Amino acid sequence: MSNIYEYSVIDNKGNQVKLETYKGKALLIVNTASKCGFTPQYRELEELYRNYKAQGLEILAFPCNQFGAQEPGTDEEIKQFCDLQFNITFPLFSKIDVKGKNIDPLYKYLTESVPGLLGSKAVKWNFTKFLVNKDGLPVDRYAPSTAVKDLEPKIKELLEEK
């Protein structure tokens, strides 16, 4: 596949979403969990989304239960948690695998396109972040410990690209 627009994913209500829906937008794709030490990043992600949505940023959150079983709930329970605790307005998708033999095809593409530290492909923990440019090409990968605010300069740069 040549860009993420060739993939489809399932939203948290069970609907298929073609990623070409986001064509021309800068994307921040994050694997999330409700019971993780990084869970407060939901608040930072929401703030980033509110600040840059009008300029063309979309944040796509993919819950994952592969790291310490920190996302045990159903899609509905995850959405309720996010609404109650963080009042998120960015898209939340169905729970997926981001590594291993059942890796979601989108994450297989992301991890192969933008390897992590020392060329590692596998996602190591919750809240790994992938930045995708307006052409649907992955351009950067950030560790879970990277603060969301530290992504702002690169996001602004992507939003300014023609």
pLDDT tens-digit map of 56-76: 999 999 999 999 999 999 999
- Between 115 and 24, where is the model more confident? 24
Pick the CATH number of 4-160 from 3.40.309.10, 3.40.30.10, 3.40.710.10, 3.40.50.1220: 3.40.30.10
Residue 115's pLDDT is: 77
pLDDT at 118 over 70: no
Residue 116's pLDDT is: 72
How confident is residue 117, by pLDDT bands cut at 50, 70 and 90? low
DSSP for residue 27 = E
CA 162 to CA 148: how far, in whole Å?
24
pTM of the model: 0.95
CA angle 127, 131, 135 (to 5 degrees): 150
pLDDT at 1 over 60: no
Mean pLDDT across the chain: 93
Sign of CA dihedral 42, 54, 14, 18: negative
CA 131 to CA 154: how far, in whole Å?
9
Domain boundaries, the chain: 4-160
pLDDT tens across 124-153, in order? Answer: 999 999 999 999 999 999 999 999 999 999
Query: Which residue, 83, 91, 31, is CA-closest to 57?
Result: 91
Residues serving a catalytic function are: 36
